[in-house]
Amino acid sequence: MAGIRAREKHFWPWLEKSDADAVLVQEIKAQNDTFPFEHAHAAGYTAHIVGQKGFNGVAILTRGKSDRVIDHLPGDPKDLQARYIEVDFEGIRLACLYLPNGNPIHDPIKYPYKLDWMSRLEARMAEILTKEIPALFGGDYNVCPTAKDIWDETANAGEAHVQREARAAWFRMKNLGLSEVRADNHDYTFWDFKSGRFQKDQGLNIDFMLVTPQLADNLKGAGVDRDARIEKDAKPSDHAPIWAEFYKP
């Protein structure tokens, strides 16, 4: 999202139009005292956030009551970056994640941190799978798993989201037994603001929902809300929302 306050004129009308039961938001760039809870409540949503001043931050909005489970990714108590939250909502575990970017790849901290974070996420997914909980892990994975998920792999060869180790980590997570709800659809979800990337459709597919078998069996449909990325009166995010609809069990 790149800042919920900066994009409120775009976000709240989109939320009303989408009529979603649950919304997972990343990079809110807000803390508890600056997040617009009043707007969420006025729209009929319960809001759970893990905020951080100036960058990062994740939130889950649900239409009705939901219960927070954890507000950090297990495995490293020293990791204070606001990148992960889980809530239980109507019998489903919702996990919202904002995976580290990892650039530059030769940085001694950033790229190793990305890979370690992915390893910890894999462990959390495996733990939930063993409990046979219907679950959805959604958000900005900051990985283009295949060449189809990026407009020009050669032009982006030095970026963390196309590195062999990051891609392998993404597939290890998926291969735990999770399903990507857009497995046959590689529509882009992100376009850089510069150089007319959106207008040229020079984008990346880095936003995903991975779901457990219990939830995959109830999938009704999914896609990318590309229209939400079109720049009109209010400046949108550089990401387009992805959506999924499920039959009730």
Q: Which domains does the chain have, with CATH numbers?
A: 5-246 (3.60.10.10)
Distances in Å between the Cα of 166 and the Cα atoms of 76, 156, 195, 243 are 19, 14, 26, 24
> Which of the two residues, 248 and 98, has the higher pLDDT score?
98
Distance CA 64, CA 6 (A): 26
With a threshold of 0.85, does the pTM exceed it?
yes
Distances in Å between the Cα of 131 and the Cα atoms of 134, 164, 212, 213 are 9, 30, 11, 12
**pLDDT, tens digit (0-9, with 9 covering 90-100), for 36-62:** 999 999 999 999 999 998 889 999 999
DSSP state of 74: T
- Find out whether 238 and 190 touch, Cβ atoms under 8 Å: yes
**pLDDT, tens digit (0-9, with 9 covering 90-100), for 82-123:** 999 999 999 999 999 999 999 999 999 999 999 999 999 999
